[in-house]
Chains A and B, each alone.
Chain A
Amino acid sequence: AQSVTQLGSHVSVSEGALVLLRCNYSSSVPPYLFWYVQYPNQGLQLLLKYTSAATLVKGINGFEAEFKKSETSFHLTKPSAHMSDAAEYFCAVTKAAGNKLTFGGGTRVLVKP
Chain B
Amino acid sequence: DAGVIQSPRHEVTEMGQEVTLRCKPISGHNSLFWYRQTMMRGLELLIYFNNNVPIDDSGMPEDRFSAKMPNASFSTLKIQPSEPRDSAVYFCASTLASGGTSTDTQYFGPGTRLTVL
- Name A residues whose Cβ lies closer than 8 Å to a Cβ of B: 32, 34, 36, 42-46, 49, 51, 90, 94, 97-106
Contact = CB atoms under 8 A, between A and B. Distances in A.
Given A36-B108, A42-B111, 18 more contacts: A34-B105, A43-B109, A43-B110, A43-B111, A44-B93, A44-B108, A46-B106, A51-B104, A90-B43, A97-B103, A98-B50, A98-B95, A98-B103, A100-B48, A102-B45, A103-B42, A103-B43, A105-B42
A53 B71 CA distance: 34
Contacts of A94: 104
14 contacts: A36-B108, A42-B110, A43-B110, A46-B106, A49-B105, A51-B104, A97-B99, A97-B102, A97-B103, A98-B50, A98-B97, A98-B103, A100-B48, A100-B56
Nearest to B106: A101
A98 B31 contact: yes
B80 interface: no
A74 B2 CA distance: 31
10 nearest A-B residue pairs (beta carbon): A98-B97, A97-B104, A43-B108, A97-B102, A103-B43, A44-B108, A98-B102, A43-B110, A105-B42, A100-B45
Interface residues of B, number: 26
A86 B91 CA distance: 21
B107 to A, nearest CB: 8
A49 B95 CA distance: 14
A49 B103 CA distance: 11
Contacts of B107: 46
Contacts of B4: 43
A45 B56 contact: no
Contacts of A104: 42
A5 B6 CA distance: 29
